[in-house]
Amino acid sequence: MAHNQTLPGDEPCSFATFNVDSKQKLVVVRFGKTVTVRDIERYAARLRKNPAFQPLFSEITDLRDVEKLDLNAAEFLRLADEVDPFSDQSKRAFVVGNAVQAHAARVHKILRTERSFEIFQSLEAAEQWVSSPAPTPSASKPGAWLSRRQR
């Protein structure tokens, strides 16, 4: 069963929308034009409260609409260490459309090296990867995603 939620408060033009699909064990979140640390904190808090969400679910984060990411290094670190609601075993995919978005995704990857994590330019490729079997331990080593993307 999928649960859609728009943040904040169900406004149609809000900063993020997310869908929790308990059957696929997947969360898909799409952020709006500007993303702040508070926006990510609110998303994580709402996700934790969603009865369909489990921390072991996979996540696809779609950043393609983001024009401004208002986060500094200390905030990235705090979000990764204290706010992130997902398990270290969760598969995480970021969908990006430009260098700024890709940089933000790479920063998250660096801070969470133990995770199965990939960066994509299309939602379809991210969905395919998330639904594939879990990677072998050698494929989840830091930097392994880069070598696979270069093939």
CATH number at residue 51: 3.30.750.24
Give the pLDDT confidence score for residue 27 in this predicted structure.
97
What 8-state DSSP symbol labels residue 134?
P
The predicted pLDDT at position 134 comes to: 67
pLDDT value, residue 93? 95
Q: Which residues of the chain have pLDDT under 70?
A: 1-14, 112-115, 134-151
Helix (H, G, I), strand (E, B) or coil at 120: strand
Distance separating the N- and C-terminal Cα atoms of the chain: 36
Which 8-state DSSP code applies to residue 138? Answer: G
Domain of residue 15, residue span? 2-150
Q: Buried (b) or exposed (e) across 31-47, using 16+ Cβ within 10 A?
A: bbeebebebbebbbebb
Q: Are 108 and 94 in contact (CB under 8 A)?
A: yes
Asked if 52 and 3 touch (Cβ cutoff 8 Å), the reply is yes
Residue 40's pLDDT is 92
Task: Tell me what pLDDT residue 73 has.
Answer: 83
Per-residue pLDDT at 4: 52
How confident is the model over 131-143, as pLDDT tens digits? Answer: 998 654 434 444 4
Q: What are the residues facing 26 on neighbouring strands? A: 21, 58
Per-residue pLDDT at 114: 59
Work out how many domains the chain is built from and give that number: 1
